[in-house]
Amino acid sequence: MQKPQILITNDDGIHAKGLKYLTSVMRKFGDVLVVASEESNSGQGHAITVRELLRLEKIHEEEGYREYMTDGTPVDSVKLGEQIVLGKTPDLIVSGINHGSNASVNIVYSGTMAAVIEGCITGIPSIGFSLNDYSSDADFDVCGPYIEEVVNKVLKEGLKPGVCLNVNIPAVPKEEIKGIKVCRQSDARWHEQYEHRVDPRNKDYYWLTGYFEKLENNEETDQWALDNNYVSIVPVQYDLTAHKEVENLKKWNFNGYGL
Amino acid sequence: MQKPQILITNDDGIHAKGLKYLTSVMRKFGDVLVVASEESNSGQGHAITVRELLRLEKIHEEEGYREYMTDGTPVDSVKLGEQIVLGKTPDLIVSGINHGSNASVNIVYSGTMAAVIEGCITGIPSIGFSLNDYSSDADFDVCGPYIEEVVNKVLKEGLKPGVCLNVNIPAVPKEEIKGIKVCRQSDARWHEQYEHRVDPRNKDYYWLTGYFEKLENNEETDQWALDNNYVSIVPVQYDLTAHKEVENLKKWNFNGYGL
């Protein structure tokens, strides 16, 4: 039986410790292609490169493993890996391990999860992994068994079309992790606080800072799971329709413009 | 009664015809603040600027109207407008008019709709408008009555927390438009075809091109509505949970790691 072809990317860049750790775990499962950017693309969301040219350079190749660097975004990396390097659809896409949580509303801003959603749109089983530790030297050792467990299940059971997975792992010693919990996305928001500065030419500029506000604390949510030392798994879709609102909006009877 | 404070942005840039048209319509409803980037941010998705500094410059001010230019993304524009210029929450955010469709899966890549979703996360009633014509000189005159109708309804009825609107308008003469249709997001995908070139220094580079494939043709969808000369309205949410899959995934009984 042929080994699965696995495509890996991330949004912390090709030198990130989380990417290297994820790669070492995934090489147990099949042939690995890494495509990632040289620099961090954190907070890039579902950005794609349409107005600029894209570079793609082979960095390393050995039996069962290839590594390419691009100047594109995480979503570009998925597209380039599939179209230019593989010339075919990979069997599995994994993204991460993100340095920091992608639970709750963080998924909306995340390049790591955008790559996963892109894989999902393309019809490929896709999983994003994040560790709840933002430091570049985070200890990823706790992640291995959970990644293997989730990947094994996905390879065996498959994922429904239009569904991918957002997996967040608490940054605590392995003996403190209570298990895996299937969740829904928690409601929360970031409050921006821009830091105002003035440059040497007397022009204003701003740095984005802010704090995270939890808008609920429900045991069914990924944020609760992560806060309580569970590995959270949320099934994610790219159908953004607020289905419950469709019928309500129809009652608005758009005056003179309705059906 | 105080006039509503309206924040407008887009992803085609501050000089785009669609933005100017939208602004002229919205000034009938209240005080308008425009914050937009100098250049196009098409395809920027939900990108935010976290690693670079941000500029924000006042371009124009008159009674009931202010215009600011930034080098940030559409989502940055929403945050900067609210935090730096207004110092308070606007009453309404409108984004567009996008030069080109944001129906179906296009919403995932759209900077215009990312700004709307950002407004929604912040708890502000938010609406995105798009015309199904990609040309920079598109004729937006057909849009006016539909924008007014939707904005009137939103100001009167409000939007549920966590719900915003994606409005797409067909690019046909006004007498051919059949009405407004409340829809769900259609399933579709883009197939990438990278165009390979070699630069004068003999290095490879790529341009993203591709074509759009409809994966369904259901009368309940926004793509069908647009194709059949209806103005489509989809209620959109930022909860990406595939709720129907939560119970299915729980049945996977994560071996040794379950609950």
Query: Could you state, in order of their start, the residue ranges of all structural domains in chain A?
Result: 5-186+218-240
CB pairs under 8 A between A and B: 249
Q: What is the mean pLDDT of residues B158-178?
A: 96
Residue of chain B whose alpha carbon sits nearest to that of A118: B108
Q: Which residues of A touch B47 (CB under 8 A)?
A: 43-47
Choose the closest CB to B109 out of A48, A179, A184.
A48
pLDDT in tens, A87-144: 999 999 999 999 999 999 999 999 999 999 999 999 999 999 999 999 999 999 999 9
Interface with B, mutate which of A241, A243, A244, A251 (most B CBs under 10 A) = A241
pLDDT computed for residue B254 by the predictor: 83
CATH of B5-185+217-250, one of 3.40.50.2000, 3.40.1210.10, 3.40.47.10, 3.40.1190.20: 3.40.1210.10
Percent of chain A with pLDDT over 70: 98
Q: Taking all residues of chain A, what is their mean pLDDT, rounded to a whole number?
A: 94
| Residue B187, min C-alpha distance to chain A (Å) | 8
| Residue A100, min C-alpha distance to chain B (Å) | 14
Contact call for B259 and A233, based on CB within 8 A: no
**How far is CA A62 from each of CA A31, A86, A217, B117, rounded to the nearest angstrom?**
10, 15, 47, 43
| Residue B85, min C-alpha distance to chain A (Å) | 11
Residue of chain B whose alpha carbon sits nearest to that of A221: B241
Q: What is the mean pLDDT of residues A50-62?
A: 92
Round to whole Å and give the CA distance between B94 and B85.
16
B67: part of which helix (H) or strand (E)? strand B65-70
Round to whole Å and give the CA distance between B75 and B54.
12
pLDDT computed for residue B2 by the predictor: 81
Any long-range contacts for B251-257 (C-beta under 8 Å, 24+ apart)? B252/A153, B252/A157, B252/A182, B254/A149, B254/A150, B254/A153, B254/A179, B254/A180, B255/A149, B256/A149, B257/A145, B257/A146, B257/A149, B257/A179, B257/A180, B257/A231
Contact call for A54 and B207, based on CB within 8 A: yes
CATH level 3 topology of A5-186+218-240:
Stationary-phase Survival Protein Sure Homolog; Chain: A, (3.40.1210)
Judge whether residue B111 has pLDDT over 90: yes
When pLDDT is cut at 50, 70 and 90, the band that residue B256 belongs to is: low
Instruction: Tally Cβ neighbours within 10 Å of residue B216.
Output: 12
**Residue B230, strand partner residues:** B179
When pLDDT is cut at 50, 70 and 90, the band that residue B193 belongs to is: confident
Q: What are phi and psi of A58, to 5 degrees?
A: -75, 130
CB A66 within 8 A of CB A27: no
Q: Using the structure block, give the residue that is written with the tokens 């989380």.
A: A18
pLDDT computed for residue B253 by the predictor: 84
Choose the closest CB to A259 out of B82, B107, B181.
B181
Choose the closest CB to B182 out of A182, A183, A250.
A250
Give residue B94's identity as a one-letter amino acid code.
Answer: V
pLDDT in tens, A151-190: 999 999 999 999 999 999 999 999 999 999 999 999 999 9
The predicted model scores a pTM of: 0.94
Contact call for A54 and B206, based on CB within 8 A: yes
How far from the centroid of its chain's Cα atoms is residue A196's Cα?
A: 30
Contact call for A108 and B46, based on CB within 8 A: yes
The first and second tokens of residue A115, run together, are 């790559």
Q: What is the mean pLDDT of residues B61-73?
A: 96
Q: What is the mean pLDDT of residues B103-129?
A: 96
Q: Which residues of B touch A145 (CB under 8 A)?
A: 257
Q: Taking all residues of chain B, what is their mean pLDDT, rounded to a whole number?
A: 94
Percent of chain B with pLDDT over 90: 89
Judge whether residue A41 has pLDDT over 80: no
Judge whether residue A77 has pLDDT over 80: yes
Contacts of A66 (CB under 8 A, 6+ apart): A32, A33, A34, A58, A60, A85
| Residue B56, min C-alpha distance to chain A (Å) | 7
Q: Where are the alpha helices (DSSP H) in B59-185?
A: 74-80, 106-109, 111-121, 144-157
Interface with B, mutate which of A88, A117, A240 (most B CBs under 10 A) = A240
Cis peptide before A97 (omega within 30 of 0): yes
pLDDT computed for residue A1 by the predictor: 63
pLDDT computed for residue A253 by the predictor: 84
